[in-house]
Amino acid sequence: MAGRESGTRIRGIFVWNLNFNADGAGGEIMNTKKVLLTGLLIGLLALSSSQSIAATGVSHPVITAYFAPEQGRYGDPLRIYLAAEDSNGEMLRIATQVTQVGYGSYPTDWVYLKPQYKKSFAGYLQWNTMSNHARSMPEWTRITIKVSVLDKNGNESNEIVLPYEFVSKRTDSQVPAPFDQGPVAKLGHIDVNLFNPFKMGDHGDDMFRR
């Protein structure tokens, strides 16, 4: 009886080990299949997306370089230097949005590009910061300028974010490459009129704001 029970126990352990190993191997095979299938699906999606872009010719403008000083006196002209390109040659306009601490965001300003700049350009936008809504601006007033380029189909480039601060002393900044190579074209004017949030309720400025 003892030998028979021992043999039965050994056979049971042997069968259990076989089942365990089979289950473990099957699990590993299933996991491997899942990983391979997931990788295949990702590859197919990426290939389909690239083929779709190639077939439709969709591309976005790209801002390749930019520069603007970070400080300046209120009323002084501000130049925002910008270089961009578009492989399809369909760039149409430049969007500029200004946000002012203590006031909020102003409507987006649009500068339409000349035909010779539809494929590539390197130039500057000029903003005459003196506003017909505010005869003065507190020193250290901070604004943020966001600029992007759009093509004729509405495809937008990368957006650049430029911090700017009004100070009482004139500051001179050296313009870096590629904007320091000879004359730089003026792309257009930014038409944003700032408000002095501390004077908006001052009746003495009513005539000036009209």
- Write out the chain's pLDDT in tens, 210 residues: 444 444 444 344 333 443 444 455 455 545 555 545 555 545 544 444 444 344 345 689 999 999 999 999 999 999 999 999 999 999 999 999 999 999 999 999 999 999 999 999 999 999 999 999 899 999 999 999 999 999 999 999 999 999 999 999 887 889 999 999 889 999 999 999 999 988 876 544 443 333
CB-neighbour burial class of residue 166 (10 A; exposed 0-12, middle 13-18, buried 19+):
buried
Structurally, the chain folds into a number of domains equal to 2
Q: Return the pLDDT at 49.
A: 41
DSSP 87: T
Considering only CA atoms, which of 148, 81, 88 is closest in space to residue 118? 88
Judge if 111 and 29 occupy the same domain.
no
Same domain, 25 and 67: no
Side-chain half-sphere of 25: how many Cα atoms within 13 Å?
A: 6
Q: What is the CATH number of the domain that holds 74?
A: 2.60.40.10
Query: Residue 198: its pLDDT value, please?
Result: 86
Give pLDDT, residue 201. Answer: 60
Task: Report d(CA 162, CA 122) in Å as an integer.
Answer: 17
Residues 101 and 203 in one domain: yes
Question: If DSSP codes are grouped into helix, strand and coil, which group holds residue 150?
Answer: strand
Contact 160, 148 (CB under 8 A): yes
Residues 180/83, Cβ–Cβ less than 8 Å = no
91-100 and 109-112 as β-strands: parallel, antiparallel, unpaired? antiparallel
Instruction: Say whether both 70 and 104 belong to one domain.
Output: yes
User: Given this model, what pLDDT does residue 20 score?
Assistant: 41
d(CA 82, CA 59): 19
Provide the CA 156 distance to its chain's centre, in angstroms.
9
Tell whether 50 and 66 lie within a shared domain. no
Together in a domain, 109 and 51? no
The verdict on pTM exceeding 0.75 is no
User: Apex CA 43: angle with CA 41 and CA 45, to 5°?
Assistant: 70
Q: Does residue 74 share a domain with residue 51?
A: no
pLDDT value, residue 22: 44
Residue span of the structural domain in which 46 resides = 1-56
**What burial letters (b/e) apply to 146-158, b meaning 16+ CB within 10 Å?**
ebbbbbeeebebe
Token pair recorded at residue 140? 């250290």
Helix (H, G, I), strand (E, B) or coil at 47: helix
